Amino acid sequence: MTAMYIGIMSGTSMDGIDLVAASFDPLVLHATLTVPFPEELRDELMALSSPGDNEIERMGQADVAYARLVGQAVLQLLEENNLDCSQIIAIGSHGQTIRHRPHLGFSLQIGDPNLIAEISKIPVVSDFRRRDLAAGGQGAPLVPAFHQALFGHASIHRIILNLGGIANISVLPAGNPAQVYGYDTGPANVLMDGWCKRHTGQNYDQDGAWAANGNSIPALMEIMQRHDYFGKKPPKSTGREDFNMDWLDNQLDDWRNQGDYDPNDDHPENIQATLLKLTVRPIKKAIARCGLPGGELYVCGGGAYNKTLMEQLRWKLGKHDWIVESTEALGLSPTWVEATAFAWLAKQRIEQQPGNLPVVTGASGLRILGTLTGSV
C-alpha cells in the first residue's frame, strides 16, 4: 500500500483551505481539494489577525470552527477520491495564522488538531512553527527546505517565489543545498485582494486586469516603501500584522496630505497598480541581492495566476537572465505547492527528520518540527 500524507494549508490570503493527499520519492498527488471559507468564519479570522475585543473567547470559537471545517474537508477528500483513512499515515495541518510576532517569540496558528484527528480518525501533525521559534528562529518561512528537496537542481540556479498573501522566496543555488536560503520579501495578495474587494466587490483582481488599467503612483510608492520591514535584513518574516488595510489607509492619508498631492492620480485602479508594484519591487531587489548570475524562477501561490504580475516579473527579471514560469512547468500546480509542503513536513516529523533551515529562519540549529496528535 502506498504511504500517503495529507497536507493542509490556508494562508494569509484566507481565500480557502487547500488539501492534498501525496506520496513522496517520487512525488505523486493522489487527490486535491479546495474548500472555501464560510464568509462569517473568514471575516472572523481576518478580524482576529489584529488586536480587538474579547479575543480569547472569539479565538476559542474560531479554533473549533476552523478545525471542524478541516476535519470535514479531509473526509470529503477521502470520499471523493475513494481513499481510506488507513492509507494515510498522518495529516500535516498548518492551521490558520492569526498572529505572527517572531520578535516577541511567538506565532499563533489555530485549528485544534485534536478535533481534526477525532473527525478524520487520522493522526495530525500541527504546530510547526514554535519549535523553530524556541530555537531563536522566525518560525518562517518553512517551505524552503521542501523547495530544495523537490525543486533543487545540480546545475541550474533556481528560485521559488510564493505569491500568497505575503511574498516569499527560496533561493536554491545549483548543486549546493548548504547555501539554500529564503525569506518573506513583503506583501503580495494581502493588499491587492483587500483593495479589490473594497472597490469592486470581487475577492481578487482576475488576471491583474484591473491593475493593468491603472498607472502606479510614484509619490504613494515612496511613502509605502518607508515601512521598516523593507529595510530589515534576513532572516525575516511578516504577515497581516505589518501589512493590512488599516496600514494601507494610513499610507493613503499620508499621501493625500502631502503638498504635492495630485487628485487626478487618486483613482482606485491606480492604487491597485501601485500595490502590484509594491509586490514586484522588493522581489526584484531580493533576487538582485542573492548574487546569482541568473537561472530559473518558478512562481507558486495565487499570484501565479495574475497575468499582469507575472508579466511585470518577466520584464524586470528577464533583463537579468532569469526565466520566469509557474511551478506548473516543474510538474506541480501553483495551487498545491504549499499544501504539499505541509504533507512533506508531516512526513519529516513522522520520520524524525528536521523540517527547518536555520539559515532561513535564524534558528540555532536543525529541528524536528510539529506536534503529533493521535497515534501512528
Binding residues for ATP: 11-18
Please state the residue numbers annotated as binding site: 11-18
Sign of CA dihedral 101, 102, 108, 109: positive
Q: What backbone phi and psi angles, to 5 degrees, belong to 347? A: -60, -45
Q: What backbone phi and psi angles, to 5 degrees, belong to 360? A: -85, -50
Give the whole-angstrom CA distance, residue 34 versus residue 17.
6
> Starting from the edge strand earliest in sequence, which strands make up the sheet with 295-300, in order?
181-187, 166-172, 158-163, 295-300, 322-326
The DSSP secondary structure of 67-128, one letter per residue, reads: HHHHHHHHHHHHHHTT--GGGEEEEEE--EEEEEEGGGTEEEEE--HHHHHHHH-S-EEE--
Give the whole-angstrom CA distance, residue 185 versus residue 92.
25
- Alpha-carbon Rg of the chain, whole angstroms? 20
Strands 166-172 and 124-126: unpaired
Contacts of residue 272, Cβ cutoff 8 Å, sequence gap at least 6: 192, 195, 196, 199, 205, 210, 211, 214
DSSP state of 143: T
Q: How many CA atoms lie within 13 A of 315 on its CB side?
A: 9
**Do 185 and 167 form a contact (C-beta atoms < 8 A)?**
yes
Beta partners for residue 299, in sequence order: 161, 326
Give the whole-angstrom CA distance, residue 125 versus residue 30.
20
Length of the chain: 376
3-state SS class at 137 = coil
Name the residue among 359, 373, 365 with its Cα closest to residue 148.
Answer: 359
Sign of CA dihedral 329, 330, 335, 338: negative
